[in-house]
Structure 1
Amino acid sequence: MAGIYVDWGGHKLKLTWMEEVMPERELITSVHAFCFHEGQLLMVNLNDRGWDFPGGHIETGETVEACVCREVMEEAYVMGDCTLLGAIEVNHEENPLWNPSSPYPEVGYQVFYRMDITEFLPFDAAFESSERMLIRPEEAAHYHKGWQKGFDEIMETALRVRGLSIRKLQPQETPPYDLLLLADPSRELVNAYIAEGECYIAEEQNDSIGVFVMVPLTNGTVEIKNIAVREDKQGHGIGRKLLQEAIEIAKSNGYKSIEIGTGNSSIDQLALYQKCGFRISDIIKDFFVQYYDEVIMENGIQCKDMILLRMEI
């Protein structure tokens, strides 16, 4: 959206909704969730400001998604699957009352997720809220006393994004080659590492839109051999969601580190992997020249070298 100006307690701020953006962690001031169940929106009655969306501040050592899951649990007593929507940039550069000693950055971000609720727990009201309810999404502005124009765009994004389910490919199922070959054009190599590892499929309403394959290595390390998102679904935070799921699977299986590789020409993938916490660990020169029959071009660059990245977990 184009930036809008608001008055928060006498402070003139510029707010800009940025879809699919995940800011640097130190610039995030709060994390919030639009939670849905069977087409209805969940609202919580907060003790200090009335009906609102669950959300709050990141605690020390907490990831952004872990924060939103905790806040939703504390305020609404529900669990679910999260999908990144984007962030509101909160800009104080034109605020004459801006205090440089403020604990918040001059340009900060409020991150928003969609949560598709999978479980309702007994509502104990032990934290910051007194009640919860489900409403029609179009009723949100009626209940939320601080509703602003930017929330309309977030709601539009949330209604457009469906929750993901990620499951392991069953032995009797055919691998989703249409997805796997997006990341690796060699069917022979794809078949080889699927046989060695485990393939996971991301689905929306039983429609396969993403995939990743994990292969165990030695010394407590597992490698993501293939990760891909269907072309019409790219740019919606799904790749990040797949990576996060792969990391959680690796942790739950007792691995100590996780590796992933990509080509020197894969600029977007290199950026995403590093934003998710991976660091470049090695370069295998001429890997794609040696093992692939056809020349691979991407972003106007010939893909020659394998860039390996690693994360300690």
Structure 2
Amino acid sequence: MKKIIMTGGGSAGHVTPNLALIPKLKEMKYEIQYIGTENGIERKIIEEEKIKYHIIESGKLRRYIDIKNLTDPFKVVKGIFQAYKIIKKEKPNIIFSKGGFVSVPVVIAGYLNKVPVIAHESDITPGLANKISTPFCTNVCVTFPECTENINKNKAVLTGTPIREELFKGSKIKCLEICNFKGDKPILLVIGGSLGSKFINDIIRQSLKELLAKYDIIHICGKNNLDNSLKNEIGYKQFEYVKEELPHFMNGADFVISRAGANVIFELIALKKPNILIPLSKKSSRGDQILNANSFKKNGYSLVIEEEELSKNIIIEKLNYLYNNRNKYIKSMEKSSLKNAVDLIVNLIDKISLK
């Protein structure tokens, strides 16, 4: 039996694409194991899938000044030694990395063990972890055509991003049941990212009276961001985090307001959902979501509101425009050449692992 070790973590966005690949890999008779950190978000997600999980240490890779920048490189080095021992013992045919700070020791240890490594980059510009990892990788799968300009051309492979099969199995009827909606209004789904967005949450709640006159609203607001004063508001359902319900919510939604992380925007295009993207600003990110959003805007898939211009009036104005022009956006998404990347990536994994 062929064996693959997967890695990636630090946020849900560095784990969920791995989940999309797992069913196909199992179908192809791969034994799957995972390397992550003890307290990272990846551990809970992967262990729920009943996949063997190995723990290493890893320091966070920061672009800003922080006292931990003096100590975390030593954690990375320790993590390389730990990952090296695991890989040497388990003898995988291949390693697949989705990025995030935990992946760096694993990629380097794989290279030192002479195991081929494939990484995946979701954004137009590679994150710091993938920048460090690329020299040690056999190939780097990229999501956007623009990303090939930022990755070694001999290693870059344009695949798109893998999307979980269960996302396509959601039910609008189930969505209405979960939220106790009557189905007489279009549904607006608001997603602030895996950690939520207080900024977006506040604007939506300030605009509730006007929005609820036209929409039923599902608001995924992030951990500890529920507003208990609104729990009995008719037509408004808020959740800290959803997992099993997400396919039903995504399929049930008529319109979506979201951050512009690559995973969620490719899910929106796959499901042909008219959407407004509010990318993280450069004040709190490296600007990757802005590039993602502008690419989707240029191709006619999304409306975009910069965080700095977001207000109650703007959100209502843009939603009205999206509602009136929804068919234009749906047609653009239907014409898109961007496809689910699962088969492309798994076939590449199989090809490289057999060499």
When normalised by structure 2's length, the TM-score is 0.27
Say which one has the larger Rg: 1
When normalised by structure 1's length, the TM-score is 0.29
